[in-house]
A and B are shown apart, each in its own frame.
Chain A
Amino acid sequence: MTQLAYLAAAVAFIVGIKRLGSPRTARSGNLVASVGMLLAVVVTLVAQDIVDWGVVGAGAAVGAAVGVLWARTVAMTDMPQMVAALNGLGGVASALVAGAELSTVSEPTALPFEAQGTILFSLAVGSLTFTGSLVAFGKLQGIVSGAPLVYRGQAVVNSTVTVAAGGLAVAALAFGNAPAFWALAGIALLIGVLMVLPIGGADMPVVVSLLNSLSGLAAAGTGFAIGNQALVIGGALVGSTGLILTVQMCDAMNRSLVNVLFGAFGSADEVAAGATSDQEVRRATPDDVAISMAYAERVVIIPGYGLAVAQAQHEVRKLAKELENRGVEVEYAIHPVAGRMPGHMNVLLAEADVPYEQLIDLDDANADLARTDVALVLGANDVVNPSARDDTTSPIFGMPIIEADRAKAVVVVKRSLSPGYAGVDNPLFYDDRTLMYFQDARKAIAEMTEALTLV
């Protein structure tokens, strides 16, 4: 009976994830999955011989209070860090459950060998997910520097730690040595930090996706350890979700996962190598931009990370409304890695009440850019860099871009001419049809809207 209830919960997760995949059903999908979760918890409380109600109740009360408060108050711009932190909490919870299971016996050998193996797996993956997510959180929140951290002897440190982890795993399983289990958990905590610290802030969409996948794997591992299929199914679903998003994010940057994890992309050396150009740019005033947009038939807005940093999504919406009132067709072309996590830019624009069907993806955007009068690039750089398409020697060659340069005119709002995080110069900025306006995105857009009302 209990097992059937867990199966029902697992089915609810599957249905929920399926419905999360379509805009019309997404909200109900989330509800279905949460009902499945509630069912699983209630069944556990009934079926297990719970005696320490106080402990369970206190833990749940604290957790629920924190969860409600956090979910209600978090700013949409901070969503990537929240998801990163939640990944970490899921991971650490799985590791702790595995640890608790281990500590119920005096020696690990009292458990079946398979249980020892799955406990070890869950301890390691959960711990690594925890600290990796904390570092990702720190980078996204700005507590830890977003720059990729590289240091001398990094390779030596990494290989030493990896070998130590392997040795401990063997010792734990071959000799049933309890301290080796705990030591491996400890070293996994260290590996999580070492793994994410060297990764640049702009690669965070990949990292958050990967940690999401790992938190699922940790849950599935714990499911094996305690013999609960609901955890196995739920964990497997999350593991595959995270995996697909990881692959899609890597594709969107035309880089392999290995390159993202170990490439330290955008580190100081590469930036120094790329960022030199003495070409002239055409500078624009807000009035120039307002006039060119006011008489356009179609304007495509290409938002980038700079827009999110400036929290300018509401200003953009005002500008778009002003244009729409003048009969200009406005759409938003969104690159898959435009924000700091997959789909982040869409959430920010949705928050500003941008209608969902005005958000178009890369392929649709490129199909229509040739018949676009003005492409307005807001705080984006690498994702509109024509070098990725034309210059086989460019470090970002092959990365899918939004082809802003196909539009009849381009306006780029950027704080300065500094290169993007890839450290590559952008020929789009020096194009004859490009107007540059150097300003904070939020200020710039407000000025343009103001100027537009006067045209």
Chain B
Amino acid sequence: MSAELVTGITVFVLATAVGLELITKVPPTLHTPLMSGANAISGITIVGAVTAAGVGHGGAATVLGLLAVIAATVNVVGGFLVTDRMLEMFRTERRSPR
């Protein structure tokens, strides 16, 4: 195995551990925004998409890259915005009449 792959696996395992640790205690109320927010983060693949579409491979690679850019951008933009829209609604505590 190359050193690069080993580093990658190390990073992956550590990031998974961090993720598991962070999420375990999240209250159920926030599960939907948490998921849509995380979902937007998985759109980080946009970085690869931009590269694939833009570096001038031409042909199939550029076409696939373009499709990837579109899909990933919808994922990122839609995901973050809709999460924000949901979380905005959660700030209604002080409107309680009691």
Q: Give the interface of A toward B (CB within 8 A).
A: 6, 9-10, 13-14, 16-18, 20-23, 26-27, 29-31, 33-34, 37, 40-41, 44-45, 48-53, 55-56, 58-60, 62-64, 66-68, 70-72, 74, 76, 79, 82-83, 86-87, 89-90, 92-94, 96-97, 99-101, 103-104, 112, 114, 208-209, 212, 215-216, 218-220, 222-224, 226-245, 321, 324-325, 334, 336, 339, 341-344, 346-347, 350-351, 353-359, 361
Contacts and interface: CB of A to CB of B under 8 A. Distances in A.
Decide if the interface of chain B is mainly helix, strand, loop or mixed: helix
A233 B11 contact: yes
Contact of A347 (B2, B18, B32, B72): B32
A341 B30 CA distance: 11
Decide if the interface of chain A is mainly helix, strand, loop or mixed: helix
Most buried by B among A60, A62, A224: A60
Contacts of B76: 34, 37, 63, 67
Interface string B40-52: 1111111111111
B22 A232 contact: no
Nearest to A76: B86
Given A71-B85, A103-B61, A114-B5, A37 B45 contact: no
A231 B93 contact: no
Nearest to B36: A83
B42 to A, nearest CB: 4
Interface of B: 1-2, 4-5, 8, 11-13, 15-20, 22-57, 59-62, 64-93, 95-98
Most buried by B among A234, A342, A357: A234
A226 B48 contact: yes
A259 to B, nearest CB: 21
Given A100-B60, A208-B35, A343-B32, A33 B90 contact: no
Contacts of B79: 67, 71, 86
